[in-house]
């Protein structure tokens, strides 16, 4: 048995470490020039849409919903095939979360299901680029527009990818990223909200920083004194510090390299598992340039759990992403019932994430393939 292989992990170089230590030796630890630089660097990957760096992908979602003005009386349509934060942050804003089912092949929010979930109270339609594969963003845009809702893209998995030639971050009203170590690039903890310049951007920036208004022209009491800053709407402190933004800029330089290596590994699994009758390899829809965050294998015939346990026993850190979000007891207690989104539940029952991260070697990948083949005797 080889060393334990996690399902995802960061790739940190000496250059990354040097970028961080340089900031530590400087004058700014928190909000300084590295934040501005990281936001500008990120905008280089979003078709130029501005980025607001925040402390996590969860904070990015919270900021996005707050910027959208989501509150009590509003409904937010959410994909259930996601980490709980996509739904939890809308619920924390006081909205009612309406789960709409997913496409059986990609696990992404199904436009038809999202359309059927719309009411006159729908404020946001929140899709997730599951495993890095962009959602059906053109159809979802049309769905959101048909009821005057905003389109939010939880792109925690998909920074660096594109859809029909347009980069992730250039299509939705609000796009959110996560820079947790298992994701496509890391700032340790971190995230960002991306949105075109305009009121959503201004509100996102304000919410990240307590809602503080420093611009005298916008203040209600501008004559208070030069020290004065005032709050018009409540916000929080979700500021990503300079130290971590420096890491982010350094990591971003390798985003293309990360994407190529992730694609190679993904293809190697595809090739090694294509003829195993008991599994299905992931699909790529036409028009998707995927930054693969997960290798989402499907295990048929109810054997997912047995394969999970076999691989874990062999030191291979497979994972399941995700239980349908409404299976969490917090949603159960609010009356959400199993059976609500049958495609998502079917997807979950078969899903198994294989190790996928840039520093994984071909030999590691082959070891995982061999263990799976051995389990099925193929």
Q: List contacts with ligand PLP (CB under 6 A).
A: 56-58, 82-83, 85-86, 128, 154, 156-157, 178, 180, 191
CB contact set of 323 (below 8 Å; sequence gap of 6+)? 348
Please state the closest distance from residue 314 (CB atom) to ligand PLP, in A. Answer: 26
User: Could you give the C-alpha distances from 90 to 70, 109, 375, 378, in angstroms and in order?
Assistant: 7, 17, 41, 45
Token pair of 101, please? 């089912």
Q: How far is the CB of 290 from ligand PLP (least distance, A)?
A: 15
As a whole number of angstroms, the distance between CA 365 and CA 115 comes to 40
- Cα distance between residue 251 and residue 86, in whole Å: 25
Q: How far is the CB of 320 from ligand PLP (least distance, A)?
A: 13
Token pair, residue 9, equals 């992990």
C-beta of 63 vs 372, nearer to ligand PLP: 63
Cα dist from 358 to 8, 71, 73, 181, whole Å:
9, 40, 44, 12
Provide, rounded to whole angstroms, the least separation between the CB of residue 179 and ligand PLP. Answer: 7
Please, which residue, 128 or 316, has the CB nearer to ligand PLP? 128
- Going from the C-alpha of 313 to that of each of 134, 290, 308, the distances in angstroms are 33, 31, 8
**Residue 134 vs 191, nearer CB to ligand PLP:** 191
Q: How far apart are CA 55 and CA 60, in angstroms?
A: 8
Handedness of CA 30, 31, 33, 38 (dihedral sign): positive
> CB 326 → ligand PLP: shortest distance, Å?
15
Distances (CA, A) of 307 to 192, 214, 229, 252, 297: 36, 56, 58, 35, 11
Strands 150-154 and 122-128, bridge-based pairing:
parallel
Q: Which is nearer to ligand PLP, 292 or 375 (CB)?
A: 292
Strands 150-154 and 174-178, by their bridges, are parallel
Q: Which is nearer to ligand PLP, 191 or 211 (CB)?
A: 191
In the complex, residue closest to ligand PLP by CB: 57
Asked if 153 contacts 176 with a C-beta cutoff of 8 angstroms, the reply is yes
> In this complex, which beta carbon is closest to ligand PLP, that of residue 129 or of residue 371?
129
Least distance to ligand PLP, CB of residue 156, Å: 3
Residues that are catalytic: 183
Are 370 and 325 in contact by the 8 Å Cβ rule? The answer is no
Residue 184 tokens, joined:
């496509």
Between CA 293 and CA 128 the distance in angstroms is 12
Decide if 79 contacts 100 (C-beta within 8 A): yes
Q: Give least dist CB 374 to ligand PLP, A.
A: 30
- C-beta of 188 vs 206, nearer to ligand PLP: 188
Rounded distance, CA 214 to CA 219, Å? 7
């Amino acid at each position: 048995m080889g060393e334990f292989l996690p399902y995802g992990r960061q790739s940190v170089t000496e250059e990354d470490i040097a970028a961080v230590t340089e900031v530590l030796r400087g004058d700014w630890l928190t909000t300084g020039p590295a934040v501005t630089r990281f936001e500008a660097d990120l905008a280089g990957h979003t078709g130029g849409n501005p980025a607001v760096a925040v402390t996590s992908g969860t904070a990015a979602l919270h900021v996005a919903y707050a910027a959208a003005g989501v509150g009590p009386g509003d409904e937010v349509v959410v994909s259930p095939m996601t980490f709980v934060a996509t739904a939890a942050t809308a619920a924390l804003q006081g909205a009612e979360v309406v789960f709409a089912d997913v496409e059986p092949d990609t696990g992404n929010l199904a436009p038809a299901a999202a359309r059927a979930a719309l009411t006159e109270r729908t404020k946001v339609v929140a899709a997730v680029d599951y495993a890095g594969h962009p959602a059906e963003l053109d159809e979802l845009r049309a769905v959101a527009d048909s009821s005057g809702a905003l389109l939010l893209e939880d792109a925690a998995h998909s920074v660096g990818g594109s859809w029909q030639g347009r980069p992730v971050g250039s299509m939705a009203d609000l796009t959110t990223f996560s820079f947790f170590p298992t994701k496509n690039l890391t700032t340790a903890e971190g995230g960002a909200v991306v949105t075109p310049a305009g009121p959503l951007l201004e509100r996102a920036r304000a919410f990240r920083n307590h809602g503080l208004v420093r611009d005298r022209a916008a203040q209600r009491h501008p004559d208070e004194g030069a020290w004065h800053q005032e709050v018009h709407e409540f916000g929080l402190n979700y500021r990503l510090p300079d130290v971590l933004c420096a890491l982010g800029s350094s990591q971003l330089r390798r985003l293309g390299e990360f994407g190529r290596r992730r694609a190679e590994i993904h293809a190697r699994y595809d090739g090694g598992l294509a003829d195993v009758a008991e599994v299905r390899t992931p699909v790529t829809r036409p028009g998707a340039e995927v930054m693969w965050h997960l290798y989402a294998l499907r295990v048929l015939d109810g054997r997912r759990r047995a394969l999970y346990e076999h691989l874990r026993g062999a030191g291979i850190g497979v994972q399941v992403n995700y239980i349908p979000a409404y299976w969490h007891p917090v949603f159960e207690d609010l009356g959400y019932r199993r059976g609500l989104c049958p495609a998502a539940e079917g997807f979950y029952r078969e899903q198994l994430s294989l190790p996928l991260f840039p520093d994984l070697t071909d030999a590691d990948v082959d070891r995982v393939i061999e263990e799976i083949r051995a389990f099925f005797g193929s």
